[in-house]
């Protein structure tokens, strides 16, 4: 059994702030709130960089929609990534900001705008030598809201 | 705390030295600084060595090249602020009274390594899959945040490249000494919007060294001691997006405030500034962060001519700049910015940069900057920022 699992590989989130569900449409971004000072973080935390405590932290589910705060278009990319692509910081509805790729739109400055409404989805982006696959999140413009 | 002076300074020409290692590059800088101060290695009481990639023993390896006198060595790594942090440690060593004569060396050998931050295991790397963490992306987005707030255009940022590339033609120590008019900057290969290739600093190799003494001993070594009027180091305070979008502004503003207080001057008193223009976007942000202009005025400031050598746009670039010039804008400060050519042209061998920026200011305060001399320069500021995040500011006075 153990061998079978190893060859099949695990499905893993590429980042700790992505929680995987049974299916890809159940995946969500997680965050944590310091119960001492109320600071909201993206992803799990053991310690609070604002009030210098060890929390405790409440694990929360972050929104899967948000707005583009800033963006850039990367033309010179690392070798395993296809360029050009849009890299952005998205402010999630209800709090928390994430780095992400914006897809589903041609990567040209004239197509982008600050405050663009976007929605998250997840997909497999890579596989390691042991056969484990990695799931990442991306954002795409919300039709009818831009 | 005692007053501290720079009595010896050097910077080797930045570039690519495939046939030398960083310790040999540093030894050359050490030798030149000693010569500048009229000193011998045995007079140096402690060494502070800034080098980012040679994480352990960089200073000892330099001494193995140029003088194993057995003195204490402190090796410093602090992102792009590595060299300037080493300088600051040297400053405190003298200011505190612990030593009378110390040396700070900044060095790096980067070679042609390509984009910073682009390495990592391809299977599990976030780069390009969950946004981009490479420096071109970070500083591209930092510029776009300014554009979001103030409507700054790509051309405004590009003017910083036109200026610094022009300045570099007068600096024989710069890695590149090549002019680039605005259309050439804008039409060069896009790296990360809005920064094109000519709006990004190069990688390279280099070294710089400074010898510091107490002010009361300084005149034994030089007729032109340069006073370290402020030495400040800050890290990034928490901001809502700081785990996502590095905030290069707040820690620079905090450092500037402290530095002006320490030196008892304001930005209007500065004759020149060497600031951390790792990308053209960064230069404009730091005009505001250092108080050279008001918030939202950076685009007008660069187009006004104020930060250009001679405080005006050279005739050959007047046409380039004219469409972006706001004739109603009156610059409140006169500091020439990056007379050296800046990181954009002078180059940015990471650990060397912090000491090299200080060296540039010293050259001018002594009247040794040749063709690019800022006339009558009496007060200069050297600013460096490294991500994740460290900011140093030194104010130097004649």
CA-to-CA dists, residue B374 to B209, B305, B345, B367, angstroms: 22, 14, 18, 8
Instruction: Report percent pLDDT > 90 for chain B.
Output: 94
pLDDT at B148: 98
Of A74, A97, A100, the CB nearest to B240: A97
Return the CATH fold of B4-113+201-397. Answer: Peroxisomal Thiolase; Chain A, domain 1 (3.40.47)
What was the pLDDT predicted at B113?
66
Q: Report the residue of A45, A47, A78 to disrupt the B interface, i.e. the one with the largest count of B CBs within 10 Å.
A: A78
pLDDT of A4 over the 80 cut? no
CB A89 to CB B130 under 8 A? no
pLDDT at res. B119: 58
pLDDT of residue B242: 76
Nearest CA in chain B to A102: B131
pLDDT tens profile B137-146: 999 999 999 9
With 80 as the cut, is the pLDDT of residue A49 above it? yes
**Cβ neighbours of A135 in B, within 8 Å:** none
- Nearest CA distance, B253 vs chain A (angstrom): 20
- Chain B interface mutation, best of A70, A89, A103, highest count of B Cβ atoms under 10 Å: A70
A-chain CB neighbours of B236 within 8 Å are none
Do the strands B190-192 and B195-196 form a parallel or antiparallel pair, or are they unpaired? antiparallel
How far is the alpha carbon of A55 from chain B, nearest alpha carbon, in Å?
A: 17
Beta carbons of B132 and A14 less than 8 Å apart: no
ipTM rounded to 2 decimals: 0.93
Domain boundaries, chain B: 4-113+201-397
CB atoms within 10 A of CB B382: 27
B272-274 vs B379-386, strand pairing mode: parallel
- The mean of the pLDDT values for chain B is 96
Q: What angle do CA B165, B169, B174 make, to 5 degrees?
A: 80
Nearest to B127 among A78, A88, A109 (CB): A78
- Helix B58-66 / helix B22-37 crossing angle, nearest 10 deg: 60
In the predicted structure, residue A3 carries a pLDDT above the cut 50: no
Give the model's pLDDT for residue B240.
Answer: 83
Nearest to A77 among B128, B238, B240 (CB): B128
Give the pLDDT confidence score for residue A76 in this predicted structure.
93
pLDDT in tens, A92-103: 999 999 999 999
Annotated catalytic residue within B146, B276, B348, B364: B348
> Considering its fold, how many domains does chain A have in total?
1
Tell me if residue B80 is catalytic. Answer: yes
In the block, which residue shows the tokens 């005006």? Answer: B312
Residue A52 lies in a domain: yes
Q: Which domain holds residue A29?
A: 2-141
B185 and B196 Cβ atoms separated by less than 8 Å = yes
CB–CB of A71 and B134 under 8 A? no
Query: Mean pLDDT lowest for which of B9-13, B120-124, B148-152?
Result: B120-124
* pLDDT tens-digit readout, B50-65: 999 987 899 999 999 9
* Pairing, β B46-50 against β B73-76: parallel
What's the maximum distance between 2 C-alpha atoms anywhere in chain B?
A: 61
Residue (of B113, B195, B198) closest to A75 by Cα position: B195
Q: To the nearest whole angstrom, how far is the Cα of A1 from the nearest Cα of chain B?
A: 25
Which one-letter DSSP state was computed for residue A95?
A: S
Q: Do B145 and A70 touch (CB under 8 A)?
A: yes
**pLDDT score of B98 more than 80:** yes
pLDDT of residue A6: 46
Decide if B144 and A70 are in contact by the 8 Å CB cutoff. yes
pLDDT band, residue A79 (cuts 50/70/90): confident
Active site residue B348: yes
Q: Which residues neighbour B321 within 8 Å (Cβ) at sequence distance 6 or greater?
A: B159, B162, B182, B303, B305, B313
N residues, chain A = 146
- Tens digit of each residue's pLDDT (9 = 90 or more) over B134-181: 999 999 999 999 999 999 999 999 999 999 999 999 999 999 999 999
Is A146 within a domain?
A: no
In angstroms, what separates the C-alpha of B27 from chain A's closest C-alpha?
35
Q: CA nearest A132 in B: which residue?
A: B123
Nearest CA in chain B to A120: B130
């Amino acid at each position: 059994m153990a061998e079978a699992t190893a060859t099949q590989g695990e499905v893993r989130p590429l980042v700790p702030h992505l929680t995987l569900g049974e299916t890809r449409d159940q995946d969500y971004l997680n965050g944590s709130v310091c119960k001492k000072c109320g600071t909201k973080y993206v992803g799990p935390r053991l310690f609070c960089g604002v009030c210098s405590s060890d929390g405790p932290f409440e694990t929360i589910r972050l929104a899967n929609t948000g707005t583009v705060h800033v963006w850039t278009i990367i033309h010179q990319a690392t070798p395993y990534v296809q360029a050009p692509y849009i890299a952005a910081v998205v402010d999630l509805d209800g709090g928390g900001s994430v780095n992400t790729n914006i897809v589903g739109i041609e990567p040209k400055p004239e197509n982008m705008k600050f405050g663009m409404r976007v929605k998250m989805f997840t997909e497999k982006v890579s596989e390691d030598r042991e056969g484990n696959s990695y799931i990442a999140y991306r954002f795409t413009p919300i039709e009818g809201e831009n | 705390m005692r007053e501290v002076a720079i009595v010896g300074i050097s910077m080797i020409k930045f570039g690519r030295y495939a046939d030398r290692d960083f310790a040999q590059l540093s030894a050359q800088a050490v030798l030149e600084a000693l010569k500048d101060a009229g000193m011998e290695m045995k007079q140096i009481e402690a060494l502070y060595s800034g080098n980012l990639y040679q994480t352990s023993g960089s200073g000892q390896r330099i001494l193995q090249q140029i003088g194993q006198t057995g003195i204490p060595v402190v090796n410093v790594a602090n992102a792009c602020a590595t060299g300037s942090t080493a300088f600051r440690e040297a400053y405190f060593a003298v200011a505190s009274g612990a030593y009378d004569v110390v040396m700070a060396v900044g060095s790096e050998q980067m070679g042609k390594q390509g984009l910073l931050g682009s390495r990592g295991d391809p299977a599990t790397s976030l780069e390009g899959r969950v946004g981009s963490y490479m420096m071109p992306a970070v500083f591209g987005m930092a510029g776009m945040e300014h554009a979001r707030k103030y409507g700054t255009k790509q051309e405004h940022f590009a003017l910083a490249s036109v200026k610094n590339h022009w300045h570099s033609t007068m600096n024989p120590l710069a890695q590149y000494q090549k002019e680039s008019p605005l259309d050439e900057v804008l039409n060069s290969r896009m790296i990360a919007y809005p920064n094109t290739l000519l709006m990004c600093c190069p990688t390279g190799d280099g070294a710089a060294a400074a010898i510091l003494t107490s002010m009361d001993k300084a005149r034994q070594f030089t007729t032109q001691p340069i006073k370290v009027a402020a030495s400040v180091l800050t890290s990034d305070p928490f901001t809502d997006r700081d785990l996502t979008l590095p905030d290069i502004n707040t820690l620079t503003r905090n450092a500037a405030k402290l530095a002006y207080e320490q030196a008892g001057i304001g930005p209007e008193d500065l004759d020149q500034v060497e600031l951390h223009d790792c990308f053209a976007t960064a230069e404009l942000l730091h005009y505001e962060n250092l108080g050279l202009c008001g918030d939202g005025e950076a685009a007008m400031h660069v187009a006004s001519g104020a930060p250009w050598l001679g405080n005006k746009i050279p005739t050959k670039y007047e046409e380039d700049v004219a469409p972006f010039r706001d004739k109603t804008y009156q610059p409140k400060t006169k500091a020439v910015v990056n007379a050296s050519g800046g990181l954009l042209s002078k180059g940015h061998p990471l650990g060397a940069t912090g000491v090299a920026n200080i060296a540039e200011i010293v050259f001018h305060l002594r009247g040794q900057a040749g063709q690019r001399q800022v006339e009558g320069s009496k007060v200069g500021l050297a600013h460096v920022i490294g991500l994740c995040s460290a900011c140093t500011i030194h104010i130097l006075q004649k």
